[in-house]
Structure 1
């Protein structure tokens, strides 16, 4: 496992699952800042003992670096990446002005809290996690509720994208990457109707076209290919 092999490489390693949105956010940040990293895929829900030794909470991402203690969990990893790797020559993903930071953190919390709790985690549980459980099958009732919740969220995101340049204001921020990470996961699984997404689709097209996004568009889950158009920039 990673804990035994980390000493054999000088490059930082990220323990992740390809469709975990928090891990995707960390990957987007690292790619945006030009930081090379080795990826090691983990299925956190299997709760392997070696993995639990690193993180008893059994969540990803986890950033491992020879020179540093393990950085465990979404917020710790995200803040660690921003503090260590954000460029000094250009603006990073966290605004310098207090009012802009406040709006960024509001939207960031909306995505990682509200959107995740009402939509993403249910979709992943039903479509991904249950595949690894003997006899586990998706619950259509749960997926219907998640879909209804997603529709309401998309209405709000579309209103925001119609009234500002980016999710939290005039500039691209961490909130944009957070939402892109979640929507890309849902898009892979075919849960977004882009024909009804309005300005959110235009926003997603812009951020999807960034070089940092290429690593996500190449993701594949064994036995579950991406939904049609997932990797297309013109979707």
Structure 2
């Protein structure tokens, strides 16, 4: 059984967990805090980033894209449709939206929220900076407007079929939801989409996640939120 080095609120790790759960790939989970930059982590990945997949005797699979392609190559089941479309144009739109989420959304919103609310808990004397969180919230509002616009004409993030891009967005929004940074009452079409993807069996392990001394925001684990 492969093992995954992850942090419960790391969106990239969450994406890999969702992908594996959808494909029925069991994982042995090992939780770490990458910002502590332990010698053990740096030996595997000098960049000190997650996720990292390990299997007995194999070279570690380091990073989000490497893990996505490895899982798709090794574990895509024949019984269900894969998460990466076979058609070139559909696949291009999927990668466009994945890039939007893991680059733009992460760099403008998720990264700041995690640094202020999670990473600073392990820094003596550090407290969240309200100014940074206000900027992240304003940026999130702009992203939500764009997602609402997309979901007004699409069943899923890239079209009529669920793809890996939906899991990428769900990974980030679920992290922000855990920390109480999403006002679902104002989320419009994105809320309807999230309700559907949150109900998938692959999402169950994420909804059981807990961070020590930081319970999830009210409604995080509820399918009717």
Regarding TM over 0.5, the answer is: yes
Residues 85-138 of structure 1: CA deviation (Å, up to 9, x unaligned): 111233200000001001000000000000000000000000000000001100
Q: Quote the residue 2:205 is aligned against.
A: 215
Structure 1: runs of 5+ lacking an equivalent: 1-10
Residues 55-66 of structure 1 aligned to structure 2 (within 5 Å): 55-66=45-56
Q: Quote the residue 2:121 is aligned against.
A: 131
Residues 170-181 of structure 1 aligned to structure 2 (within 5 Å): 170-181=160-171
Residues 184-199 of structure 1 aligned to structure 2 (within 5 Å): 184-199=174-189
Q: Quote the residue 2:59 is aligned against.
A: 69
Alpha-carbon shift at residue 67 of structure 1 (Å): 4.5
Give the distance between the partners of 1:69 and 1:31, measured in 2 at CA: 22
219, 229, 234: which is aligned to 2:224? 234
What TM-score, normalized to structure 1? 0.95
* 2:85 is the alignment partner of 1:95: yes
Q: Quote the residue 1:40 is aligned against.
A: 30
Q: Secondary structure at the match of 1:147?
A: helix
Q: Quote the residue 1:160 is aligned against.
A: 150
How big is the alpha-carbon RMSD for the aligned residues of Structure 1 and Structure 2? 0.7
Q: Quote the residue 1:86 is aligned against.
A: 76
Give the distance between the partners of 2:117 and 2:68, measured in 1 at CA: 26
What TM-score, normalized to structure 2? 0.99
Deviating beyond 3 angstroms after TM superposition, the runs of 4 or more aligned structure 1 residues are: none
> How many residues in Structure 1 have an aligned counterpart in Structure 2?
225
Give the distance between the partners of 2:145 and 2:218, measured in 1 at CA: 23
Give the distance between the partners of 2:136 and 2:58, measured in 1 at CA: 39
